[in-house]
Structure 1
Amino acid sequence: MKILIKDELLSGKSVYETELDFSNEIITVKDIITERVKKEVEEYNKKLPAYFNGLVEPMEAEKTLNGYKLKPKKIIDAEKQIYAALDAFQKNGFFILVDNYQADALEEEIELKAKTTISFVKLTPLIGG
């Protein structure tokens, strides 16, 4: 089942969209994060562009306006990225909305429907706090 995945700002504006394919109708939040990160790392590693635009910053990357720049361009380890993303979710670095319902835990089960939309909303730390 193909599911629409979006990155959104707190205002609700969509800044990135892709589709993920899941074979089961019931999945966990952990499955969603894992599949999303695997896909973006695979796409980056195939082309090795100058910037990585993913859910979490890879180790040894410099954050820029265009994404995360790796010096030199190198293969990203998907397992490390998945671990970093799962950790970020647990530390409230971003939250996930499934059809506008906020998922709270990695093991929370989600029932996918044909028109399910999953939104990732990154939280930005306040300056000085």
Structure 2
Amino acid sequence: MGTVTFVDETTLGARTASAPLAVPEERLTLRELMARRIARETGPEEHGAALARALDAFARNGFLVLVGDRQVEDPDETLTVGPETEVVFLRLVPLVGG
């Protein structure tokens, strides 16, 4: 069993980490990790819509996802979860006037 710590980060340097999430599988997709994070943070009635919004934002490059030192570009990419895996959601902040 591994653990995942979700970290929200901005290009301005703000960084917030969640409590670790136990993950019994050794391998799962980014989409599934996102779904588990959203399930943890929302109620059951909000889960589907929140996941759809997150996947849409990911597709539009609203944020990047880094697992370890590698960027994940496909939500269906299979990831390996180790004892202490950090998944960073790097929110891209637009330039002023841009």
Deviation (angstroms), 1:13: 4.5
Give the Å deviation of 1:26: 0.4
Q: How far 1:78 sits from its partner (Å)?
A: 1.3
Write the distance in 2 (CA, Å) between the matches of 1:109 and 1:94: 19
- 1:109 counterpart = 2:70: no
State the 4+ residue runs in structure 1 displaced beyond 3 angstroms: none
**Alignment of 1:7 onto 2:4:** no
Q: Mind listing any 5+ residue stretches in structure 1 that lack a counterpart? A: 46-75
Percent identity (aligned):
28
Question: Displacement, 1:17?
Answer: 2.3
The residue correspondences of 1:42-57 to structure 2 (distance < 5 A) are 42=43
SS across alignment from 1:77:
helix
Relative to the length of structure 1, the TM-score reads 0.66
Q: How many residues align?
A: 97
Gaps of 5+ in 2: none
Deviation at 1:128, TM superposition (A): 3.1
Aligned 8 A contact 1:6 1:18 in 2: no
TM-score, length-scaled by structure 2: 0.85
Contact map agreement 1:26 1:112 (CA 8 A) in 2: yes
Select the structure with the greater relative contact order (CA < 8 A; seq sep ≥ 6). 2
Cα contact 1:26–1:110 (8 A) shared by 2: yes
Considering only CA atoms, is the larger Rg found in Structure 1 or Structure 2?
1
Shift of 1:115: 1.9
CA distance in 2, matches of 1:126, 1:105: 25
- CA distance 1:39–1:2, shift in 2 (3 Å): same
Q: Tell me the equivalent position of 2:18.
A: 17
Shift of 1:10: 2.3
